Amino acid sequence: MKWSTIRMGWRNLGRNRKRTLLAVGAIGLGQFTLVFVNSLMAGFFLDALDTVTGPMVGHVQIHHADWREERAVDLYLENLSETREALQTLPEVEKVSPRIYTAVLAASGEKSDTPALADPGFIVGLDMALERDRGGLLETLSDEQVPGDGEVAMGRVLANRLGVEAGELLAVIGQDADGFPVSDLFTVKAVIDSNVELVRSMGILMSLENAGELLVMPDLAHEIIVHGADFRDADALRAAIADVVALDAAEALTWREAAPEIVRFIEMKDWFDFIFLAIVFVAAAAGIANTAMMSTFERRHEFGMLLAVGARPRRIIGMVLVESVLLGLIGVLIGSIAGTAVALITSQTGINYAALGGSEVDAVAYGNYSIPLFVYPRFELRHVVYGLVAVTFTSALAALWPAALAARLEPMEAMRT
């Protein structure tokens, strides 16, 4: 490519500034939208994945081989302490959260003589200290609200249904690991909102020790939730876990296998990205093709003169292509700067996605999860690169036809126009 071709292409952009500005504006708007909206969606989906893989599903989950089918209280993992210790020695592992689960009937301890007020509940026995870390089920609790021995935290919906408030007694009736009926009274230490729908609607959260005593499950657990550094490395994490001898009879699943609906959710996002990219493609192509056609038509005389003095058609094709690609690149540059700036600023401030739509709802339910609607966009350089490549390619493609028309002009015929 000759420097003079680039110089002429660049200067030609200034000949009809209004048209150039309009085309640049359209391309820039497309790129801005691509970068910003994809950052917004990335933030939303990553938050959603954090929600899902955070407290409940984990990056890898380990349980009895039949647990997923039956969810029976006697399908537990043995040698919990030993297993936990072995897992914590793995370099890929960041957090090991054992859980005990069982369905119970719950009622207000003050009114437990009134069976009609009992409601289904779901006991989650967990490591209190661990669950208070970021991403844990008790992340939002203050020090004073953390349940101690004989205390529980209850999901808001269940507490409301039972008419139980913090400080009151809660009675639970269930079945232990050997199939015998069990019951006990617990003090409600806190009523919690959780983005895990099961916890919010039915959850009775207590210490692993209290749950073990209630269900007669010493050094046992139904599930061990394992977190690595990044949910995207779940396969490597499971491979490392598979070497742990104590898990021979258990099943280890990545979050993709444990929550296939989330995989569909991600695929939906990939389609969303693709559709957006396609829209930018089409908008850029239409804008550039129109500009290239108009400018080629207006300059027939000039192209005729070029051909008359002996310029090769490929030089004319080069001039039209360079002009279009420069137009596209300027638009992409402006759109990228604006999109990146807005994405980075809002990644700090956050955006109330629901409020934008006039809704007061702060989360949306998806499967068993409540996905937060206060979104922190995540800027990803790849969105800029996608737009850059797409618009450059589209610019050249859209200009090919007008360039070919210009190159096929007969010099004298073109100069007469």
Shortest CA distance to 325 belongs to which of 291, 276, 350, 366?
291
Choose between 11 and 264: whose C-beta lies nearer to other proteins. 11
- CA distances (Å), origin 280, targets 272, 392, 415: 12, 11, 37
Residue 156 to residue 322: CA distance in whole angstroms: 63
β-bridge partners, 182: 174
Closest CB 310 distance from other proteins, rounded Å: 2
Q: Which amino acid, 125? A: G
Closest CB 406 distance from other proteins, rounded Å: 14
Choose between 311 and 333: whose C-beta lies nearer to other proteins. 311
Choose between 25 and 411: whose C-beta lies nearer to other proteins. 411
Where b means 16+ CB within 10 Å and e means fewer, 211-236 reads bbbbbebeebbbbbbbbbeebeebee
Closest CB 323 distance from other proteins, rounded Å: 10
Closest CB 314 distance from other proteins, rounded Å: 11
- Residue 59 has phi, psi (to 5 degrees) of -80, -40
Choose between 15 and 382: whose C-beta lies nearer to other proteins. 15
Closest CB 296 distance from other proteins, rounded Å: 15
The answer to whether the Cα torsion of 22, 24, 29, 34 is positive or negative is positive
Choose between 156 and 315: whose C-beta lies nearer to other proteins. 315
Choose between 11 and 232: whose C-beta lies nearer to other proteins. 11
Residue 39 to residue 347: CA distance in whole angstroms: 9
Within 13 Å and on the Cβ side, how many CA atoms surround 320?
Answer: 32
Q: What is the DSSP string of 120-141?
A: EEEEEEE-HHHHTSTTSTTTT-
Choose between 71 and 408: whose C-beta lies nearer to other proteins. 408
- Residue 241 has phi, psi (to 5 degrees) of -65, -35
Closest CB 280 distance from other proteins, rounded Å: 29
Beta strands in 264-398 (DSSP E): 351-352, 363-366, 369-372, 374-375
Closest CB 37 distance from other proteins, rounded Å: 37
Which positions lie near other proteins, rule CB under 8 A? Answer: 2, 4, 7-8, 11-12, 14-15, 301-302, 305, 307-312, 315, 411-412, 415
